[in-house]
């Protein structure tokens, strides 16, 4: 369980980035934090591994107050892939970069080898295992940044804007990774303003605005609240825009697939 209690965060320059944030995230949940630029998403995520500590209030990760733990301790439970994670590579090869954290945590050679191999194959980086991380393309670097976390396999995985700058194929891979992590019982928390991606994932959605949580609920509910989305400068998913225009023929605004909506329309036409 992750608990935020009346969390306020003020940056040293006086910017108040979190205001009275109260939040509980259970084990195995998939949560998307949405909101416009500057809403406070990254600041909130940085509280999950103690990189930032609340100015007021407290953050508990599985009962541990982040003020009483070191980033190293929290990192065993919480892995964060930052937006610019690929700028931080330091190893000579893709393999070494992926195994580094596992070595630090003291896993056995055998476990390290199996985990790194599985991860690199799954992330389609196996052929690059001996290549320098710095020689990879942008998309490959993103996949490596995620591999580093996947191999280390913490219980809570945090992804800051995972689809930013990704093409359609890479986004599909990202969706697959998140779904796999969820079936493994991991807690996945991501920030995004990619509404179509979140609409397809259908996680619990938390809306932020000006450092405050202004909406919290299943995607199916939050994504059809056009007023709430607009107040957060978010454009509703296309399928919601479409269904909300079909109310005059008795179809409710909903987060559905094009196939479902087509079927609904056919039924209305027939009857
Ligand atoms: N290192 C920092 N120092 C001062 N202000 C910051 C810093 N990082 C972010 N901010 C400010 O905090 C607010 C929230 O930023 P951030 O958490 O990055 O939002 P988001 O990730 O939703 O775009 C913004 O007003 C931003 O300008
Ligand atoms: Mg951000």
Residue 232 is assigned to a structural domain of this protein: yes
Sheet with 2-10, strands from edge to edge, namely: 16-25, 2-10, 56-61, 64-65
Ligand 2 centre distance from Cα of residue 259 (Å): 34
174 three-class SS = helix
Residue 244 is assigned to a structural domain of this protein: no
Query: Which band of pLDDT confidence, cut at 50, 70 and 90, is reported for residue 84?
Result: confident
Write the CATH number for 47: 3.40.50.300
- Alpha-carbon gap, residue 177 to 188, rounded angstroms: 10
User: Is 4 buried (19+), middle (13-18) or exposed (0-12) by CB count in 10 A?
Assistant: buried
Over residues 160-179, the pLDDT tens digits come to 999 988 889 889 999 999 99
Residue 246 is assigned to a structural domain of this protein: no
Domains identified in the chain, total number: 1
- Give the ligand with the smallest distance to the CA of 39: 1
Residue 65 is assigned to a structural domain of this protein: yes
Report residues near ion ligand 2: CB below 5 Å.
41-42
Residue 251 is assigned to a structural domain of this protein: no
Decide if 219 contacts 239 (C-beta within 8 A): no
Mutate to test the pocket of ligand 1, among 10, 11, 48, 213 (most ligand atoms within 8 A of CB): 11
Over residues 115-159, the pLDDT tens digits come to 999 999 999 999 999 999 999 988 889 899 999 999 988 999 999
Residue 198 is assigned to a structural domain of this protein: yes
From the CB of 166, is ligand 1 less than 6 Å away? Answer: no
Which range marks the domain in which residue 189 is found?
2-236
Residue nearest (by alpha carbon) to ligand 1 atom 17: 40
Residue 45 is assigned to a structural domain of this protein: yes
Residue 160 is assigned to a structural domain of this protein: yes
């Amino acid at each position: 369980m992750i608990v935020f209690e009346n969390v306020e965060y003020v940056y040293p320059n006086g910017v108040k980035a979190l205001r009275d944030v109260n939040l509980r995230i259970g084990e195995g949940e998939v949560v998307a934090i949405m909101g416009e630029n500057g809403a406070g998403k990254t600041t909130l995520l940085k509280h999950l591994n103690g990189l930032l500590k609340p100015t007021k209030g407290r953050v508990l990760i599985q009962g541990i107050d982040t003020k009483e733990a070191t980033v190293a301790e929290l990192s065993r439970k919480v892995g964060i892939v930052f937006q610019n994670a690929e700028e931080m590579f330091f190893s000579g090869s893709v393999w070494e970069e992926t195994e580094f954290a596992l070595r630090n945590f003291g896993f056995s050679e055998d476990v390290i080898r199996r985990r790194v191999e599985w991860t690199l194959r799954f992330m389609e980086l196996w052929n690059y295992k001996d290549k320098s991380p710095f020689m990879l393309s942008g998309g490959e670097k993103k996949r490596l940044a995620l591999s580093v976390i996947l191999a280390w396999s913490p219980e809570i995985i945090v992804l800051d804007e995972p689809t930013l700058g990704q093409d359609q194929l890479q986004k599909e891979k990202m969706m697959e990774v998140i779904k796999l992590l969820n079936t493994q019982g991991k807690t996945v928390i991501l920030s995004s303003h990619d509404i179509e991606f979140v609409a397809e994932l259908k996680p619990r959605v938390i809306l932020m605005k000006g450092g405050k949580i202004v909406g919290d609920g299943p995607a199916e509910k939050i994504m059809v609240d056009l007023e709430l989305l607009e107040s957060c400068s978010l454009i509703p998913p296309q399928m919601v825009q479409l269904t909300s225009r079909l109310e005059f023929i008795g179809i409710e605004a909903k987060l559905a697939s094009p196939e479902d909506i087509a079927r609904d329309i056919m039924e209305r036409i027939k009857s």
